[in-house]
Amino acid sequence: MKIQVGVGCESEFAFFLDCGADEFYGGISDVPGHLYGGQNFSDEKTFLKAVEKAHARNKKFFAVANEVRGDLFESTLKKTLYLVKNGADGLIVRDIALLKELQKQNLKCELILSSLALCFNSGTLNFYADLGITRLALPEQITEDEALSLIKNKRRVGTEVFLTAREYCVVLNGFCYLKKFTGECICRAGFRKGKEIFAMPRPSLQQHYSSLYAFHKAGAQFLKIGRHPSKDYAKIIFKQALAVRELLEAGLDREIFVRKAADAHFKFGEFLLKWKEKK
């Protein structure tokens, strides 16, 4: 299983390139992309320099364009075409209009359907495959039963999966407008009604790892790490991802894998706590 890391700048990219990440993705500041914390490359030039360095080590680097902005459509199309024609290995997209226009260009690149798209069945996968997607980033909220038919699809669409034990949106992140309430993310907050406090349900740690085990066994090829506001935080998560990958590839049975992965999760959790205390 390859590890794909989201990066926000040259120094972050250089670090993960030296640490052995297999693939990269990043955004550019004026190309609409979903960014929760983290940062974008300031311009295409800086981005493409990083792409060149990735290629020198036989690694791939994708550009993010996974938000739908009709007012920026023409500039987004122009920039994404420019990026691909000048070296980017592909794009992470979701906008059907953009996919349609890219398809007309007959580009030879990866078109990765963003995890923000609502792709939960093979009929929908076929719909997007007809629009040219070559890979699918599984939605964070997909269950292992649901993912099977997508991972084992007949359209030769590769699959990526987030390390959801660390990166998980409680609601569908592609359709989340909860920030309108306080300016911050509130999906993990409790909401009060009289004496009742309601917290949105989410999977347990064991369920996250059990699903990851199933995704890997079914054939998901890429483990994704998202972009983070702090490079130090991202480094700890990356190291955890390396440890999890090692466990996945050790041929363990599910129960043992989940137990060991959860142990590793808590160990890295301690590193994260120490990092927070130092901040």
Partner 1 sequence: MEREKIERAVFFHGSIPENRRLIKGKVLCLGSEFCPALLVRKKDIEAALNTALSGIAVYTSFLNERELGEHISALEEILKDFGDIEVMINDFGLLSWLVKKFPGVKKGIARPLSVEFMRMPYRQLSDFMSKWSLSSIETDECSMISNFPQKRNFNVYFRLGPVFSAMSRFCPFTRKISPGCSFQCKGRLDKFSVKGSRQKIYRYEKGYFSACEEIDLKLKPQRIVEDIFQAP
Chain positions 87 to 116 lying near partner 1, rule: CB under 8 A, are 94-97, 100-101
Q: What does the alpha-carbon distance between residue 57 and residue 17 come to, in Å, rounded to a whole number? A: 8
Instruction: Kindly tell me which of 4 and 66 has the beta carbon lying closer to partner 1.
Output: 66
Which CB atom, from 49 or from 202, has the smaller least distance to partner 1? 202
> Taking CB under 8 A as the criterion, which residues in 172-201 touch partner 1?
172, 174-178, 180-182, 184, 186-187, 189-193, 198, 200-201
Both tokens of 2, joined, read 């390859």
Q: Smallest distance, Å, CB 154 to partner 1?
A: 13
Contact 40, 8 (CB under 8 A): yes
Of the candidate residues 19, 118, 256, 273, the single one contacting partner 1 (CB under 8 A): 118
Count of chain residues binding partner 1 (CB under 8 A): 50
Q: Which residue, among 37, 25, 63, has the nearest Cα to 230 in the 3D structure?
A: 37
How far apart CA 6 and CA 62 sit, in angstroms, is 9
* Token duo for residue 152: 């084992």
Q: Cβ(84)–Cβ(90) under 8 Å?
A: yes
Is residue 123 close enough to count as binding partner 1 by CB under 8 A?
yes
Pairing of strands 190-193, 196-199: antiparallel
* Integer Cα distance of 140 and 143 in angstroms: 9
Binding mask 124-153 for partner 1 (x = CB under 8 A): xxxxx------------x-x-xx--x----
Residues 201-230 interacting with partner 1 (rule: CB under 8 A) = 201-202
Site string for partner 1, 69-88 (x = CB under 8 A): xxx-xx--------------
Q: How far is the CB of 87 from partner 1 (least distance, A)?
A: 27
Q: DSSP characters for 148-203?
A: HHHHT-TT--EEEEE-TTTS--SS-GGG--THHHHSS--TTSEEEETTEEEE----
Binding site for partner 1 (CB under 8 A): 68-71, 73-74, 94-97, 100-101, 118, 120-128, 141, 143, 145-146, 149, 170-172, 174-178, 180-182, 184, 186-187, 189-193, 198, 200-202
